[in-house]
Chains A and B, each alone.
Chain A
Amino acid sequence: MNSKSTRQQKGSSWVMSTFDDVEVFASTSHTESRVKKRQRQTVDLARLGKKRHQQFQCGTDLWVDRYAPLSREDLAVHKKKVQEVESWLVESMSGMKDRKFLLLTGPSGCGKSATLKVLSREAKLNLIEWINPTTAPYKSHFMDQENTWIPGDTVRPVSQTTQFWEFLMRTSKYSSVCVQGRGGGNLVCVEDLPNVFTRDPSSLHNMLREYTKRSNSSPVVFIVTDSTQQSSSAKHLLPPDLQQELSFVNIVFNPIASGLMVKALSRVVSLEGSRTTTPLPTKDALTSLANTSGGDVRSAINALQFATKKDVYGLEELFTESSTSRQGKKSVSRSKSNSRTLSNKSGSSQSGVDRTENQVAIGGKDGSLFLFRALGKVLYCKRNKEKGITEPLPKHLHTQERPPLQENPENIYDKTSMGAASFSLFLHQNCLAFFSDIESVAEAVTHLTHGDVLMAEWLDRQVLEDYAASVTVRGMMHANENMSSGGGWRPFLRPQWYSVIKESQQNTCLLKSEHRMEPLTSEELTTVLAPMKAKILQGKKKGNTSPTFRIGLFSEVQRQTRCERLDELDVNTSIVEEEEQERLGAAGGGSNLHTLSTPQQFNTQDSLSDPEEDFRIDDSDEENT
């Protein structure tokens, strides 16, 4: 055994295997360590072994693929969601009526596809996925040889729509030849819809209608990622009325809660640890990574793979800085400790500040890393008090004099690497908590509006964006007169604007689909028709839940805003309270909301109820169990 393994080693030193069989390498690593122990005196061999070791440290696949969840325990998705999907699968496989189509929606990287894959594997179902075919460039070829064209010689390209239809038919008729011993039926998964359908969803709808008419057709699962783009959203592809007509079941996935995310990451880390000898990131580092990733487990694992490459010890630093606050809502205790380290750091020495500024942003989506540091710099607005006023102003402007700033406002903005419009949105959302008197608020908001005017026209936004950013940031900092003394940690929130826009889009979409026959613009629909109709209907029926009624009466809107405000208050007060109490309170308050939202049907307002709300519920659930 021993001599064999040494021979193997020698052999592989000059012939390098190009096969991807990781198992072989993994198994040799055990024997190799034994060899090393015995032949410590032969330096050559030992060095060789080291070299080898380094080689198979790097597999050829991404961690996301290598450590894809194998069983339902490995899934980072909340248990209830998995159960929901599972019960649908069971029902549809047992041939229950109205269980032909399932729609999974949610932000990217929240485990939609992974859940489906794991469950179908466990149930021994045959998961068949539609993949967009490459359309070979027949056309030009065809034109060139027009004269010598022989009937039947070339294959005419078939349109993607036809191919898709044939695919559906094939999968429902025949079971796979390759897979043996799998009793289960076929399950069709459509994630990558043919592009034609984004332009012309109605052809998809007709196809699906036709599909339901066939008996014994296999169930179809559509996976659609939430996106801000109108054309690729689930609402556009599969509008609510079609969903109702074909009795779709819609399961909405939420971003992964940080507790579950940490669990998933630790699993990856421990699996990786069993393969290599490199030091592994600590639990704290994983926690902060989970916090920065914004509920996207895929990008978190990607970032982990990227970050663990060189020095694991520096890893924690990479992430701690960032986690100050986007997650403030979810985990107050954690953020508190982080914000403390942040203030320590920035307060320490100039060199320390410079160092942290040079750190790279890895993993954070859309600037969350720099964003929160930048927001803090602007809103806390640190000044060099001891220097006094260096640039005196004329007498009548004495009130406007300020000690010099510690940070250059333009630099702060540059580092956020985001547009002036979205940065000022964040400032707008969060600025109120940082002012002590109404005059400064007025001044700050004046400058916000100045910035807004500068950015109003899309035509010249490119040129004027820098002005707008400068004016907004500087105005905000200038107005903040007494800040640096009155410290204290405040949570940063995501601008409500995003959720409001999303909601309004969804509402107009709903209204439009309900009043397809009326030739009205969306503005007329929402401001004239819907309120009118709702008023008429108000007396008639109690508990009417049609969108017109809901939107027309603005009942939902009021509920939403109150919710948000309460939430803010919650977080603010809970800082003083004990962590435990806060957690309990959140769980109690949250569960109410949870029962309110029944994600089974295509009730749109559920998906609206702030994703972060659900976040926290999941989080605390997780910790309670």
Chain B
Amino acid sequence: MADTEAPMDTDPPKTYTQATTSGSKSAHIPWIEKYRPTIFPEIVGNEETVARLEVFAKQGNVPNIIIAGPPGVGKTTTILCLARSLLGSSYKEAVMELNASNERGIDVVRNKVKMFAQQKVTLPRGRHKIIVLDEADSMTDGAQQALRRTMELYSNTTRFALACNSSEKIIEPIQSRCAMLRYSKLSDAQVLTKLLEVCKKEDLSYTDSGLEAVLFTAQGDMRQALNNLQSTAQGFGHVSSENVFKVCDEPHPILIKDMIQHCITPNFDEAYKILAHLWKLGYAAEDIISIIFRVTKNINMAEFLKLEFIKETGYTHMRMVRGTSSLLQLSGLLARLCSKSIAAPAS
């Protein structure tokens, strides 16, 4: 009856935090795991929600929750923290974790989840078994339908914690049975604090522009930021902006920024020189254009021009997605961008 195959793939991360001081052994652990917060105060961002969950973790009786938000903001981390602080030593028996890589069709929900919900685990008062459904938005509609009654029937022994990227893909009945928590993207400052902390712990040599580059490549995604930081640190031993962009293999945004500035001026020749240079370095058209978009969003320029630039970039990107990712398209884009601020010939 007892379903022993329930995946328990979360190792107790406490050992990692202790291992930070010893260098050689822990070097091969991804920093994203090594520095994954294990207690609530360590979680970066969305303080209000996290604080509230912390209270629940102390008092017990957590309602079913859905955490929705973009990747890398700590949804899964929060849920694991919650489960760990609620259940402590009985974590292994009382938590079932299913993510998109596990089978999660109707059958699994109907059998595996239900059987786990029916299992008897002795827990202190106010504590419940927890079923963690990561990436719940990738569950099929039928599976979600099958889930909703289970959620209600076993609510006095089992609670659900769902994490998803877009809440729109969770069916209404499930949303109605859960408290919906929304996580927003982390601000650069929040990511930076964590990066500085990691740099200190790892004893890294870094420059300010290097960290800025990491922030730029991560775009508010903590996971990506830590990964990029680690790969730069292990590849070059020094975090500078050049190294970061070399590792991440993205066109350097400063070049792109110059290029866009030339388009604003407008000076097509200079802009094209940069583009040709990038093209020669072997960057794919998609890489270049996505950086153009990202830079355009953050550059200081007149509102009207920014709007037009984004629109043109969007159309060009659309063409590329549909197959024509050539230098010609990119230079066409530059020409159109330049023409935006040129007065129409008086006729």
Contacts and interface: CB of A to CB of B under 8 A. Distances in A.
B273 interface: no
Contacts of A364: 180
A344 B342 CA distance: 42
Contacts of A418: 166, 168
A393 B297 CA distance: 18
B47 interface: yes
B182 A361 contact: yes
A459 B305 CA distance: 29
A594 interface: no
A108 B149 CA distance: 12
A296 B179 CA distance: 12
B149 A405 contact: no
A358 to B, nearest CB: 6
Nearest to B118: A134
B55 interface: yes
Given A18-B124, A134-B114, A61 B59 contact: no
A414 B175 contact: no
Interface stretch (A213-221, A266-274, A365-373, A431-439): A365-373
Interface stretch (B9-17, B20-28, B245-253, B313-321): B313-321
B2 interface: no
Interface residues of B, number: 77
A518 interface: no
A363 B179 CA distance: 6
Contacts of B70: 414, 417
A397 interface: yes
Interface stretch (B139-147, B193-201, B209-217): B139-147
A415 B297 CA distance: 16
Given A60-B156, A62-B63, A360-B181, A454 B318 contact: yes
B324 interface: no
A134 B115 contact: yes
Interface string A398-429: 00111011000010001101110010000000
A358 B146 CA distance: 35
Contacts of A464: 314, 317-318, 321
Contacts of B47: 358
A410 B310 CA distance: 12
Interface in A32-63: 54-55, 57-63
A20 B301 CA distance: 64
Contacts of B317: 463-464, 467
A396 B43 CA distance: 51
8 contacts: A55-B125, A60-B61, A131-B153, A227-B171, A401-B302, A415-B184, A417-B69, A474-B303
Interface of A: 16-18, 20, 54-55, 57-65, 107-109, 131-132, 134-137, 191-192, 195, 198, 225-227, 229, 231-232, 296, 298-299, 302-303, 305-307, 309-310, 358-367, 369-370, 391-397, 400-402, 404-405, 410, 414-415, 417-419, 422, 447, 450, 453-454, 457, 459-460, 463-464, 466-468, 470-471, 474-475, 477-478
**Which 8 residue pairs spanning A and B have beta carbons closest together?**
A467-B314, A400-B304, A460-B321, A391-B302, A108-B176, A306-B179, A109-B176, A192-B149
Given A229-B171, A305-B179, A405-B303, 20 more contacts: A60-B156, A62-B61, A63-B63, A134-B115, A195-B146, A231-B142, A298-B176, A302-B179, A305-B63, A306-B52, A306-B63, A309-B55, A361-B181, A362-B179, A394-B342, A400-B302, A404-B303, A414-B185, A418-B168, A464-B318
